[in-house]
Structures are given as structure tokens and as C-alpha cells.
């Protein structure tokens, strides 16, 4: 099994970065990543120094997938996300949109939590289940070089709890080789990532990358054993939500034989949503697989 260690920390999904690893479709590999805080917070006394490191969400990669070409899709199945230093860190120094109601005098809020036995020790009396996910996962666009702050059709900083072990994330290929990169692992995160910081940790992610030749998709999709999900991002969030639902409807039509208007009707009653960081408006629209093979007429 190939292993990609932490190397240069990239903060853009760019076709101009040279591949650090080349793999064949279907290979399983282990990818190490630094935390979203660029490793600056290891104790409660540490502070995020944006003068020394102004960017967030460093990436490991890019990874070249042999045979991947524009118009294809990558299918990235996450098997395991393992913490590498036995702890995670968060901070609450930037209340941003909440300042209107809470004020702007928020303390720095550096908070380091041990991880043991599949539990995150948030305090002496509160534990949180260890439910890891990747905040950043994406391919390189064929135009521009988006940073690791937003999300978009290439994937990016989606911050969805469903980019987790057991699920497969589908990503469009825009350039030869796909140029897959990842990072921003979280030990856990709530819907909306309220403080813009999850329980951040350096990690090793075990994943398998498959290639779906000729499968052109408009943006990221997520397949779980029980659901399918279409992802969209941007503000205002209500527009992203409408777009994600439209993408889900078109997916149901093209691959599951649904009439789009019947799918529209069904989703009105059974759909669910997942919300990434609320400040950039990333959402996933979901439907359980048990509905997909129902009566289509």
C-alpha cells in the first residue's frame, strides 16, 4: 500500500502543483495531513498566528490518477481516518456573523482535547464520540486556483460530516490526472461548523480511489450505504440548497430512471439536508436509497 506523507503545505487546489504521487485506479493508499490550524495549536497556551501562517486548511497532494481525463469522475472511498497525535484542537476567537447578537469580545478559546478509545474528552464531564471526517477534499479545476477556504464544483472545503469513513465521494475531473488533494481532518464536527473550526487534528486517511470513465457530473456527490447526496456551495445558502436539490433530482433522473417532476414531488416529503460551514453556504441534499427503486410512474 502506498503512503503519502505530509510534504509541502498547499492552500489551493491548483493544476500548477506537481503531483506528489501517481496511482492506478482502484489503488488503496494512506495519506497524512496536517490540521487546519497548520499545526500551530498543540496546547491550550498556543495561539493561532496568522502573521506567520495566514492561511488555513493545508492540503496534502496532489495525487495523479492514471487515465483520469476531463469529463470523468473520481470515486474516493474513505476507509479510515486515524488521529496521529492522539488529540484535536479548536478555537472560538472569530464569532463573525454572530457578533450582531453576541458581541465581538469573544476570548481566544484555544481548546485542546485528548482522543482515547473512540471518545473526544472535551472536558472532565463531557465526552464527544469520535466521528472523523475530512473537511477538504477536491480535484484541480481547469481554470483558476480556488483556495482551501470555499467549496465549489471541484469539491474543496465542503466541511460536511458525510465525507467520512464508509462513504464514497464523487468528484469531477477537470484536468488530466484529476490532481486529488485532501486535508482538514476533524475528529468531530457539528452541522454548520459554528465557529468555523471543527475539532481539528493531523491525521492519516486510508482511502481507495476509483475512476468512473465518461461519468460527467456537475459537482460533488456522496454515496453512503443508505443514502445518496448532491452537494452545492455558495451564498445565499437558500440558493445553494435549491441547486443541491436540483442536482439530486437530475441524478435520480439520469441514473435511477425517475421522472424529474415525480422526484421533485417525492423529495418534498422525504428529503434531508446536511450543512457544512454556514458562512460559505455548503449543503448536501439527501434521499434514502430505499426510495430510489420505488414506483416511478
Mean pLDDT of the 86-108 span:
90
The answer on pLDDT for 294 being more than 80 is no
pLDDT band at 78 (very low <50, low <70, confident <90, very high): very high
The answer on pLDDT for 124 being more than 80 is yes
pLDDT tens digits, one per residue of 195-231: 999 999 999 999 999 999 999 999 999 999 999 999 9
pLDDT at 293: 87
pLDDT at 127: 98
The answer on pLDDT for 181 being more than 60 is yes
Mean pLDDT of the 77-88 span:
98
CATH architecture of 2-86+132-212: Sandwich (2.60)
pLDDT at 297: 52
CATH architecture of 226-291: Roll (3.10)
pLDDT at 94: 81
Look over the chain and give the mean of its residue pLDDT values, rounded to a whole number.
96
- The answer to whether the beta carbons of residues 193 and 278 sit under 8 Å apart is yes
- The answer to whether the beta carbons of residues 174 and 139 sit under 8 Å apart is yes
pLDDT at 154: 98
Burial of 20 by CB count in 10 Å (0-12 exposed, 13-18 middle, 19+ buried)?
middle
Distance CA 120, CA 117 (A): 8
Q: Which long-range contacts (CB under 8 A, 24 or more apart) does 6-10 make?
A: 6/32, 6/33, 6/34, 6/60, 6/202, 7/60, 9/34, 9/38, 9/58, 9/59, 10/58, 10/59, 10/61, 10/62, 10/181
pLDDT at 93: 83
User: How many C-beta neighbours within 10 Å does residue 128 have?
Assistant: 18
Please state the domain extents for the chain: 2-86+132-212, 226-291
Integer angstrom CA distances of residue 197 from 60, 155, 165, 262, 283: 19, 18, 20, 39, 17
pLDDT at 157: 98
Strand ranges across the sheet with 283-288:
2-4, 27-33, 203-212, 73-83, 168-172, 221-223, 227-232, 283-288, 272-275
The answer on pLDDT for 37 being more than 90 is yes
pLDDT band at 191 (very low <50, low <70, confident <90, very high): very high
Mean pLDDT of the 235-242 span:
95
pLDDT at 95: 85
Distance CA 21, CA 83 (A): 22
The answer on pLDDT for 289 being more than 90 is yes
pLDDT band at 295 (very low <50, low <70, confident <90, very high): low
pLDDT at 85: 98
Mean pLDDT of the 109-117 span:
96
- The answer to whether the beta carbons of residues 68 and 212 sit under 8 Å apart is no
β-pair partners for 22: 64
pLDDT tens digits, one per residue of 52-65: 888 999 999 999 99
Comparison of pLDDT for 49 and 178, the residue scoring more:
178
Amino acid at each position: 500500500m502506498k503512503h503519502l506523507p505530509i510534504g509541502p503545505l498547499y492552500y489551493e487546489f491548483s493544476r500548477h502543483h506537481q503531483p506528489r504521487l501517481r496511482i492506478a485506479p482502484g489503488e488503496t493508499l494512506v495519506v497524512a495531513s496536517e490540521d487546519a490550524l497548520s499545526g500551530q495549536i498543540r496546547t491550550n497556551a498556543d495561539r493561532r498566528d496568522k502573521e506567520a501562517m495566514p492561511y488555513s486548511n493545508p492540503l496534502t497532494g496532489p495525487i495523479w490518477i492514471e487515465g483520469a481525463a476531463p469529463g470523468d469522475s473520481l470515486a474516493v472511498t474513505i476507509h479510515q481516518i486515524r488521529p496521529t497525535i492522539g488529540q484535536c484542537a479548536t478555537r472560538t476567537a472569530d464569532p463573525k456573523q454572530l457578533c450582531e447578537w453576541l458581541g465581538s469580545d469573544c476570548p481566544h478559546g484555544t481548546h485542546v482535547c485528548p482522543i482515547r478509545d473512540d471518545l473526544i474528552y472535551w472536558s472532565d464531564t463531557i465526552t464527544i464520540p469520535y466521528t472523523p471526517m475530512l473537511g477538504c477534499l477536491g480535484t484541480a479545476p481547469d481554470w483558476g486556483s480556488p483556495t482551501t477556504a470555499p467549496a465549489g464544483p471541484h469539491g474543496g472545503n465542503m466541511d460536511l460530516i458525510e465525507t467520512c469513513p464508509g462513504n464514497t465521494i464523487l468528484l469531477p475531473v477537470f484536468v488530466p490526472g484529476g490532481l486529488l488533494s485532501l486535508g482538514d481532518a476533524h475528529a468531530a464536527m457539528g452541522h454548520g461548523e459554528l465557529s468555523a473550526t471543527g475539532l481539528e487534528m493531523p491525521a492519516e486517511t486510508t482511502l481507495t480511489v476509483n475512476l468512473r470513465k465518461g461519468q460527467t457530473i456537475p459537482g460533488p456527490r456522496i454515496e453512503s450505504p443508505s443514502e445518496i447526496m448532491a452537494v452545492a456551495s455558495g451564498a445565499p445558502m437558500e440558493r445553494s440548497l435549491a441547486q443541491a436539490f436540483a442536482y439530486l433530482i437530475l441524478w435520480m433522473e439520469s441514473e435511477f430512471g425517475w421522472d424529474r417532476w415525480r422526484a421533485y414531488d417525492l423529495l418534498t416529503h422525504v428529503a434531508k439536508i446536511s450543512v457544512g460551514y454556514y458562512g460559505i453556504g455548503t449543503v448536501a441534499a439527501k434521499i434514502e436509497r430505499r426510495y430510489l427503486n420505488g414506483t416511478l410512474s
